[in-house]
Chains A and B, each alone.
Chain A
């Protein structure tokens, strides 16, 4: 497998590596590129934060990893390397063995993401029974243990509860139990705390970090919330209109953003500093994938844009030791 041998030293320990991924949605008008040459690696025991606004392609990227892009979306290029395999080229049956067992996913809205007609215990146990030869009572016992482990008090009794009987935080804990009961290597979390209150969000973030320590999980954490990303991610990739525009270790990214979009996002947030009469703002609207500007995809909203930016698109290039940025104007 030559692909595995030629990986860079950074991704040598990567549990999951995405290379030049392209996902296209065939529409009546023109095909929309929801993910355009997306590349990143998530090492075991670390968290990569994927941050961006609605429609930037972060969720599509996550679903592509599991082979769950909804039609009419298709993976049209690139590789997703996991354990020596290129996932998009695996047959569906082998993907089923990987989903939920070795790569798991949790979602934004645990109320709708859990099946309303089954108890949470049986939904957690099902994840185990799909992948391991387990008897029903054994799987139930393991599910109760897992529910207790993710902090559900009186798990033996709560396991019989249905999703609507639990609070939002408890439901998300049940989702996490379901995702982790088979001890996967990779966890993909798509806005897992967005629907929750702040105090519950803090509890769930703490739980995810604790589970990561215990299981050595590689986490791909997707969020629109820079604050959450800053508190949980080791490394951050910023997506805009289908492409990663900047990637850096979390500390460096927030301290010294290189891409004007990243800088704009950070500056627009009402922060902890002195109260200003007005907030900084990024002009214009989040772009429509069908109508991207020529050249750099951020050029129509960028304060630094000039003719060069409108003429050709910058590629994601190294900017310092562990940083990459796609901008003609980024100071090196």
Chain B
């Protein structure tokens, strides 16, 4: 681990102002991401998992400076990028690309596919028109589109094909880091695996690093090297994927894994199912944010919040992390 990490995030916080009740009430703050730290090494895939509203998307966007963090430090290839202006961030924009859940929403419906794929090249002033077109065709072929598709429009493609277009556009500038926000959630089952295979092939052939956001634990288990589980804006457990799924130590991680439906396990039996909903980030519980839903919660958990602790391989934020239990 002597290499500088691609991305190193320390104590990142992202708060949003929320208007209070009444015409004269002041603003209050919603802490979407709270003191999160992680590092991402070259060629590694880190997955952020958690339920909707846990802050995983906000964290990724803040780390990529798409929405500047409220506080904390983000180092990209060793240099600090928080506080930089848009002009200084331009090289970063080139090296960090995003893929979204709904490819249709992110593709301009009035542009043919060739122009969509070539657009980042145009924006960054790379090559002349003929070169860009040539490059776009090469990219399209790499992601499994045909050269003949270049003059067609996004609505003429299926969801899986559109995601391929979005991926081709994302890799056009040869980024080193790709943030993939639920890239396969909107796709049909038989298409999901095609796209996951494509992302994996690109990782191997282009040494890509992924920050992979997903709520689907089976996909994460297959795709990620390391996993960070988020709850209410904080990372509650992080470990190598295999360790995390084979020996989860945070009760929330265990509950997530238990809740994931599994094929061929037979009809479900109502056991170990987490009750209630995640609390509102506007009014987080005292102590450990998970204690109102936690089967292990004790007085200590209501009073003090456990820190994320452990060796660099496996960190857990739980007072009872060393007790097995169910």
Contacts and interface: CB of A to CB of B under 8 A. Distances in A.
Contacts of B215: 197-198
Contacts of B190: 53, 264-265, 268, 281-282, 286
B4 interface: no
Contact of A251 (B200, B242, B266, B274): B266
B222 A275 contact: yes
Contacts of B255: 199
Interface stretch (A14-22, A32-40, A118-126, A221-229): A221-229
Contact of A54 (B188, B267, B268): B188
A224 B222 contact: no
Nearest to A279: B193
B262 interface: yes
Contacts of B263: 226-227, 230, 254, 266, 269, 271
B200 A277 contact: yes
A228 B189 CA distance: 13
B158 A199 contact: no
Nearest to B260: A198
A212 B242 CA distance: 37
A231 B267 contact: yes
A54 B191 CA distance: 11
Given A269-B193, A285-B160, A285-B191, A254 B264 contact: yes
Interface in A242-258: 250-251, 254-255
B81 interface: no
Contacts of A255: 264
Interface residues of A, number: 49
B296 interface: no
A202 B196 contact: no
A286 B158 contact: yes
A269 B256 CA distance: 18
B217 A198 contact: yes
A270 B161 contact: no
Nearest to A51: B189
A interface secondary structure, majority: helix
Interface string B175-208: 0000000000000111111101100100000000
B91 interface: no
B196 A279 contact: yes
Interface in A121-145: none
Interface string B125-168: 00000000000000000000000000000000011110000000
Interface in A194-225: 197-203, 205-206, 209-210, 224-225
Nearest to B280: A167
Given A199-B51, A231-B268, A268 B259 contact: no
Interface string B265-282: 111101001110100000
A234 interface: yes
Nearest to B263: A230
A110 B91 CA distance: 44
B221 A230 contact: no
Contacts of B189: 53, 224-226, 265, 268-269
Shortest 4 CB-CB contacts between residues of A and residues of B = A227-B261, A270-B222, A268-B193, A279-B193
Interface of A: 53-54, 167-170, 197-203, 205-206, 209-210, 224-228, 230-234, 250-251, 254-255, 264-266, 268-272, 275-282, 285-286
